Structure 1
């Protein structure tokens, strides 16, 4: 059942939606509050609303949020995307490296959709289960376990994956045995020992030290840049 639209524009309803999203809202959300394109344009000209990206608007006088850039991208994805990979590592505090681009996983069914991707966004295609998703303020982010598996799959620099794995395990965010893809990936580069809690990775192996490279985008990888 669709959301019932009001008979007339409802500013309080629009504000309620926007206030949960750092002051931002989408064209579709505006429509459910009775604000169609002509009325939006009127408020843009009046300085009450600002258009920040195609299909995304902001209440001009709403206080600035800490991660507005993520909210804008999430609304651009029609609220279907989940922040992942390097972006999720940073949000979980598992990496000191700030990614140059925003990484977003969108549904696998969208793989053949044609649309203009913002220049600061790297898209990955895949389905994120409910138990692989958490919320960071107004936006969804992949869980630590899913994030680590994703980073190993795209061959992010082994030292970054190693540090994130060890931090996540030490903080109790993951079980050391719960990320088989990460374990298999790190075994290629690091010595490994085992304890009752699971695998522990030590120093880099000599044969692997020369395999680390840098992708053209500036995000370190172990040999390739995956844009899925």
Structure 2
């Protein structure tokens, strides 16, 4: 392998390393892989095509949140893991959503099976960076779930977990719910009442 190709490969692996082994066609182009080179690497088995314009290094170790990185890249890096999916990331409550919840900009137009899109994006103050994806903060995720009217018992369990672990406070949780409106405020009020707060 030539030194130029080796350096391309190293740069791709550095990028993929920050994204659980995933990368997009656009990112590969930016590194220096033409679309023809991308097709060659897929055909040769060097890359796995996961979705249109999304690839993965085949030998990369799996991680429980790989699917979140995949959907973030599918969204062009615009999406933020939110709602019930964010509760799973923060290990709050017992919820196990059947789809990935992703908040996207108001003008976002793509759709796919296995994902539930929410608009608009949360404010940056309510977003945390993770390896390969972004996720709403625990307080925001709880408020989003209250607004979405998830089962109250699930919300109460998640709120109780968050308070016990010090991930939010009743005041911050009430403030996050107030930003989303009366439905979120009411769900959070009931959950805090159930937690004795």
Q: TM-score, normalised by structure 1?
A: 0.74
More strand by share: 1
Of residues 119, 137, 141 in structure 2, which corresponds to 1:125?
119
Q: Tell me what 1:33 maps to.
A: 31
Structure 2 counterpart SS, 1:128: coil
Q: Which residue in 2 is equivalent to 1:171?
A: 165
2:187 is matched with: 185
Mark the runs of 5 or more structure 2 residues left unpaired by the alignment.
Answer: 178-183
Q: Secondary structure at the match of 1:42?
A: helix
CA distance, structure 2, for counterparts of residue 169 and residue 176 of structure 1 = 8
Higher Cα radius of gyration: 1
1:162 aligns with 2:146: no
Q: Deviations over 1:61-101 (max 9, x none)?
A: 22223321111111001111010111011111112221111
Do the aligned residues in 2 keep the contact of 1:26 with 1:75 (CA within 8 Å)? yes
* Residue 91 (structure 1) aligns with: 89
Matched pairs, number: 184
Question: Runs of 4+ in structure 1 displaced over 4 angstroms?
Answer: none
User: Aligned in 2, Cα 1:202/1:24: closer, same or farther, shift over 3 Å?
Assistant: closer
Partner of 2:104: 106
Alignment partner of 1:39: what SS?
Answer: helix
Q: Deviations over 1:150-171 (max 9, x none)?
A: 1111111111111111211121
8 Å CA contact 1:48–1:61 kept in 2: the answer is no
- Give the TM-score normalised by the residue count of structure 2: 0.85
Instruction: Give the secondary-structure state (helix, strand or coil) at the position aligned to 1:141.
Output: strand
Provide the rounded CA distance (Å) in 2 between the counterparts of 1:97 and 1:184: 20
Which one has a larger percent helix, Structure 1 or Structure 2? 2
Structure having greater relative contact order (Cα 8 Å, sep ≥ 6): 2
Q: Secondary structure at the match of 1:173?
A: coil
**Structure 1's 200 and 118: CA in aligned 2 closer, same or farther, altered over 3 A?**
same
Mapped to 2, the partners of 1:149 and 1:65 lie a distance apart of: 27
Work out the CA distance in 2 between the residues paired with 1:186 and 1:15.
Answer: 43
CA contact (8 A) 2:142 2:155 kept: yes
Structure 2 counterpart of 1:57, from 15, 38, 55:
55
Instruction: Provide structure 1 residue ranges, at least 5 long, that are not aligned to the other structure.
Output: 1-6, 191-198, 204-228
